[in-house]
Chains A and B, each alone.
Chain A
């Protein structure tokens, strides 16, 4: 089974901090994605990557950046955390055009 591992299940950060959310997959998938899930808003795409060093903006990229230096790792960066970035963050990977495998999620609280 593909494993997608998110480094933290729960994080609490202060407003203005730079926050790194890490995601690692172990099946050589080309595509990786970052979503956030909020009540009533579903899953919203932040950024995605088709390959190493490639990145594309999703629907809500403002306030975020990403890094993909190695195929297995896709990092989401909150440049200066704000309270409206409190959310559940979900990483996913995919080989080609098929469905995703998601990580367990990181519940981020910004205070």
Chain B
């Protein structure tokens, strides 16, 4: 059973507009959430994270929002740029510290110039 779900396999956005990528989780023991970005033929790179004690974390054009009651997080990219075109993975970590991250299936973002 999928514990981390990214229900949109793909998303297309015009350059300059906002991209919103969504992620839902089922395990209430998750306490830390991360977003990774992956280009073809490369490994994923860390983008931004959020602890369960916060509801928002911002880093430049990237903001992650966490709604614990809905078990939902979202990544906002404003403004979107063509270089943002990639696959974005949502990941979650259990509160026992060393357990492996659980990843969603990813959302392919295409930013159209």
User: What residues of chain A have their CB less than 8 Å away from a CB belonging to chain B?
Assistant: 4, 6, 9, 31, 33, 35, 37, 40-43, 45, 48, 50, 58, 90, 92, 96-97, 99-105, 107
Docked CA distance A59–B17 (Å): 38
Q: Shortest beta-carbon distance, A44 to chain B, in Å?
A: 8
Contact indicator B45/A102 (Cβ below 8 Å):
yes
Docked CA distance A61–B46 (Å): 25
Contact indicator A90/B43 (Cβ below 8 Å):
yes
A-facing mask of B2-29, CB < 8 A → 1, else 0? 0000100100000000000000000000
Tell me if A's interface is mostly helix, strand, loop or mixed: strand
User: What residues of chain B have their CB less than 8 Å away from a CB belonging to chain A?
Assistant: 6, 9, 32, 34, 36, 38, 41-46, 49, 89, 91, 93, 97-98, 100-101, 103-106
Contact indicator A31/B98 (Cβ below 8 Å):
yes
Task: Name the contact of A99 in the complex, choosing from B38, B98, B101 (C-beta under 8 A).
Answer: B101
Contact indicator B98/A100 (Cβ below 8 Å):
no
Known: A9-B41, A48-B100. A100 touches B46 (CB 8 A): yes
Contact indicator A105/B43 (Cβ below 8 Å):
yes
Contacts of A42 in B (CB 8 A): 6, 89, 103-106
Contact indicator B44/A90 (Cβ below 8 Å):
yes
Task: Name the contact of B103 in the complex, choosing from A4, A43, A48 (C-beta under 8 A).
Answer: A43
Contacts of B42 in A (CB 8 A): 104-105
Contacts of B36 in A (CB 8 A): 100, 102
Docked CA distance A104–B91 (Å): 18
